[in-house]
Structure 1
């Protein structure tokens, strides 16, 4: 059996390679009068050694059949693609295993193509590792091609998102923020779990009206993320393995069980809301909105409504926790901004947690959130589009079938729009001297319509949910906690038993010229920040810190010589390798700023628990989450 298996696998690989070579050769035909986009095997070969020395990346060589795949690192590949953009220009192409991938490094070009020409740039590429074709199955709205299923599910999504926003998301983020804070008080070293659980619980409540499925939703999200990531499932790296029988392809068998379990989970959740509705106890949710007018949506198969709701649940659980984890990373490595955030929250909220109505009065909190998305975008390579017909741009030919990547990592680092782009600096959103400043500050800054949510007809419809979750979640964390790097000998798992906010007592904390309603005028900021030679309160605070992106002084240069070689590795770039890039867990000290606030939060949570407001997670597949059974958790 083993020799036969080897022969079948080898023959399949050879046939797949020949087919890719043939497909690639067809794609090289360029219409007269146009030229191919630059890229490996093109422009790079014309650069001399002096020119090449300007770049901090190896020049991709390109190989037969596999193209530039060997030149792409698995970890932080988005940095490599951004570096290649400095070599080849703001739009270039790369052959990856026979597929033509086009990388876009500026917002202007991304809008020119993906938004203005959305009629031909709004498809999604095929994801070979999924059992059901993502383009036509009507299971995953963000991954669907532009077809009837996409149209009807997008209309449905517009309605459920609009109704949720009108209802202030049923206060679910505010309810779950209390549970998250108690978990952070009790187990601060497990902050990643607490943040992800917060998002999963809010999303479960929005999707189905209760939170008990949060652990299951997180697992469904993890498994799907592996299935859709280029660096995840083997089927995305070597697609032919998905054409083999299950017994010969463990990755295909894994995906089949994942899809089967997901379908069963979505069906179970729909049935539960149906039962709740019959008993008159269904809480507001997207599923209830669907069930209350099931026939009006025109869904074509039995569980399309279950998938339409479930997919939005998974999408929320996948993405929103990443920038929340980035917030912790930023506050620890750029501590000069935490006292400013504390001052704003204390002034606006006092001794209560932030609520939705505080949004206009908390511009610096919104600036921090906006900067988290820019500094470390959760989808740094951008969600890819696929071109449905040949096109040209500025004299360059772009062939049909090209996978188009709005490279968010590069777009968010345009030095003309974001001076000192590698530094985390929320002030760029609230000070008039920066290109990104907008008024009024009761509305701006905002993450709504930022490039991270996509382009044109593929813009994410869950922006308002993401915005509310991060506003309430991160605002609550900053209201209660201070955080700092773990010092040698510190136990990062301990919480404080005393008031631990010396910043508020030792520093004259600035209000960045905010009045009581946070309406900053141009005149106030110009006078208070830009014109006077006397340092502002804010500048006094910032001057106490050195951080990545600070212009080197004599002292920092001297200290840099003493640093160990290992310190050259940027600790803020230790990220996961899947499509959604999350900062890997790290150690830091998380302590309550005020014991009175901590006890108030704990008391409120306990009262809610006694009233049945907080449900414990539920296991859906039995012992060990269905290990070895037809349905259950797969290894991730």
Structure 2
């Protein structure tokens, strides 16, 4: 192990030498007078602070520094400067009002060509491919939301409840599959791809995360010759398999379109219909055109899994750990819905359910670091020069713990969204809280890089959360040997850019025999339609 560490160190020497040269230049400039800078932790020659920044749960360290150095501070990892923001107003000033400067994406070493495209629109630089894909996705998502995603979310919620009735021990697998099925149905009309979709999303997240391949932090070793480079070999295989999967689904959908069998409520149909309106009735495309489209729809489909699966799992955890709020939400559902499963039509009448969901995302953010922005040119903020290439992190974990906005931030407090007097309270409760607008929308990013999926998050989390509360009583798993509840570690996660909690254990019990029968009847009625 020690020899391996030494090998990594020697491989990193070119980068360290470059950093040393940069450091010497900095010292030379200091002789002319120190420039204004933001506060921050002490920077060591060459390495900056890379030595004590953890690859896992990095947001906790950034929050610790924010408590010391304030709402905006700077640091450096080798030769890469960072500015960490923990204040909404500062983030808005930089990432929204100056979005023409701070909307780049940093290089993720272990993902091929992500800045150029066309595979990952959320990770591209701003150029023509990004503009065209984002514009199309925005229009497709808006149309789907106007139709509340065509009932697919409610149908998949009913399927999920049926599976949980039969085998509740697999609730974590079923939750991710639920998200994958919704997105695959909307993309290509093939919900059976749900599990593959979830697995593909998880592997992509691993490869783009600091906690993933070591090449994302020890970047020089990415340039080892291919024959002795296991990280590059893995990425070649992973990316090729994902691309082939996207292309295959795209071509199957195209064949169905030509036969008149593809449902009009799919994103693939929408794309093919546009081609036909332009005169391309046989849907003949060049290879580049086909890759552009299959990656656009494929990534659109994939990102809708990873952004929702984690928050839903944290919601189940929150309900197990906070039985008082579980009962309050169930009582509200019983008053409004009685014996029927809730649907989107009940949205306005179930504010307690929405508050529990909204508070889950604040309490255990799915994107605790925020998604990094990169300065596309030099700038100045509060008298401090910000160089092109600087990475700006609006740390969501810290922003969600600003006491003036979120009093008692470490506690799960849904009442902050429901009761006058709390800074986050908004009226009317028939509209707020939600994931489309209002307070706490920084979860979805900033400015020109804001996530386009807040509408599907709103619908999917509401339908899922309300359905589970309607059907089951939830609590921690009880150890059969000791009779004590099995501990749930609420901060144990996979440490990806977008989180899912690590494996934890819960009990799910139908709220009554009659409710269990209702769940089973709903499942049976959808067996044929959902290709279960």
**Common topology (TM > 0.5):** yes
Answer yes or no: is 1:240 the counterpart of 2:158. no
Answer yes or no: is 1:330 the counterpart of 2:318. yes
How many residues align? The count is: 515
- SS of 2:75's partner is strand
Q: Which residue of 2 aligns with 1:448?
A: 436
The answer on whether the counterparts of 1:114 and 1:456 sit within 8 Å (CA) in structure 2 is: yes
Q: Which residue of 2 aligns with 1:15?
A: 14
Give how far 1:173 is off: 0.6
Q: Which residue of 2 aligns with 1:436?
A: 424
Q: 1 CA distance for matches of 2:481 and 2:337? A: 31
- SS of 2:530's partner is coil
Q: Which residue of 2 aligns with 1:588?
A: 506
Distance 1:396 1:262, change over 3 A: same
- SS of 2:490's partner is helix
Q: How does 1:338-377 map to 2 (within 5 A)?
A: 338-377=326-365
Q: 2 CA distance for matches of 1:463 and 1:25? A: 46
The answer on whether the counterparts of 2:117 and 2:130 sit within 8 Å (CA) in structure 1 is: no
- SS of 2:215's partner is helix
Answer yes or no: is 1:269 the counterpart of 2:249. yes
Give how far 1:67 is off: 2.3
Q: Deviations along 1:311-370, whole A, 9 cap, x unmatched?
A: 111111112011111112111222211111001111111111111111111111111111
| Correspondence for 1:259 among 223, 235, 239 | 239
The answer on whether the counterparts of 1:36 and 1:398 sit within 8 Å (CA) in structure 2 is: no
Q: 1 CA distance for matches of 2:452 and 2:9? A: 44
The answer on whether the counterparts of 1:37 and 1:397 sit within 8 Å (CA) in structure 2 is: no
Answer yes or no: is 1:128 the counterpart of 2:109. yes
- SS of 1:320's partner is helix
Give how far 1:491 is off: 11
Q: Which residue of 2 aligns with 1:162?
A: 142
Answer yes or no: is 1:203 the counterpart of 2:202. no
Q: Which residue of 2 aligns with 1:58?
A: none
The answer on whether the counterparts of 2:180 and 2:195 sit within 8 Å (CA) in structure 1 is: yes
Q: 1 CA distance for matches of 2:137 and 2:421? A: 38
Q: 2 CA distance for matches of 1:104 and 1:181? A: 40
The answer on whether the counterparts of 1:235 and 1:252 sit within 8 Å (CA) in structure 2 is: no
Moved over 4 A (4+): 5-12, 23-34, 295-300
| Correspondence for 2:495 among 573, 577, 584 | 577
List runs of 5+ in structure 2 lacking aligned partners.
279-284
Q: Which residue of 1 aligns with 2:308?
A: 320
- SS of 2:508's partner is strand
Distance 1:187 1:220, change over 3 A: same
The answer on whether the counterparts of 1:482 and 1:590 sit within 8 Å (CA) in structure 2 is: yes
TM-score scaled to structure 1, two decimals?
0.77
Answer yes or no: is 1:406 the counterpart of 2:394. yes
Q: 2 CA distance for matches of 1:200 and 1:32? A: 56
Give how far 1:390 is off: 2.0
- SS of 2:100's partner is helix
Distance 1:490 1:453, change over 3 A: farther
Q: Which residue of 2 aligns with 1:71?
A: 52
The answer on whether the counterparts of 2:118 and 2:291 sit within 8 Å (CA) in structure 1 is: no
Q: Which residue of 2 aligns with 1:614?
A: 530
List runs of 5+ in structure 1 lacking aligned partners.
42-61, 493-565, 617-636
Q: 2 CA distance for matches of 1:398 and 1:120? A: 11
Distance 1:78 1:295, change over 3 A: farther
Distance 1:334 1:25, change over 3 A: farther
Q: 2 CA distance for matches of 1:491 and 1:307? A: 51
Q: 1 CA distance for matches of 2:309 and 2:87? A: 26
Give how far 1:305 is off: 0.8
Answer yes or no: is 1:604 the counterpart of 2:522. yes
Q: Deviations along 1:98-140, whole A, 9 cap, x unmatched?
A: 21111100111100100010010011111111122x1112221
Give how far 1:392 is off: 2.1
Q: Which residue of 1 aligns with 2:195?
A: 215
The answer on whether the counterparts of 1:232 and 1:578 sit within 8 Å (CA) in structure 2 is: yes
Q: Which has the larger radius of gyration?
A: 1
Q: 1 CA distance for matches of 2:192 and 2:489? A: 35
Distance 1:410 1:8, change over 3 A: closer
| Correspondence for 1:463 among 434, 454, 471 | 454
The answer on whether the counterparts of 2:23 and 2:45 sit within 8 Å (CA) in structure 1 is: no
Distance 1:147 1:475, change over 3 A: same
Q: How does 1:279-318 map to 2 (within 5 A)?
A: 279-283=259-263, 284-294=265-275, 301-318=289-306
Q: 1 CA distance for matches of 2:458 and 2:482? A: 33
Q: 1 CA distance for matches of 2:5 and 2:310? A: 41
Give how far 1:429 is off: 0.3
Q: 2 CA distance for matches of 1:304 and 1:438? A: 42
Q: 1 CA distance for matches of 2:254 and 2:289? A: 17
Answer yes or no: is 1:427 the counterpart of 2:415. yes
The answer on whether the counterparts of 1:24 and 1:99 sit within 8 Å (CA) in structure 2 is: no
- SS of 1:487's partner is coil
Give how far 1:216 is off: 1.4
Q: 2 CA distance for matches of 1:25 and 1:136? A: 33
Q: Which residue of 1 aligns with 2:281?
A: none
Distance 1:238 1:340, change over 3 A: same
Give how far 1:439 is off: 0.7
Q: Which residue of 2 aligns with 1:528?
A: none
- SS of 1:213's partner is helix
Distance 1:27 1:274, change over 3 A: farther
The answer on whether the counterparts of 1:572 and 1:583 sit within 8 Å (CA) in structure 2 is: yes
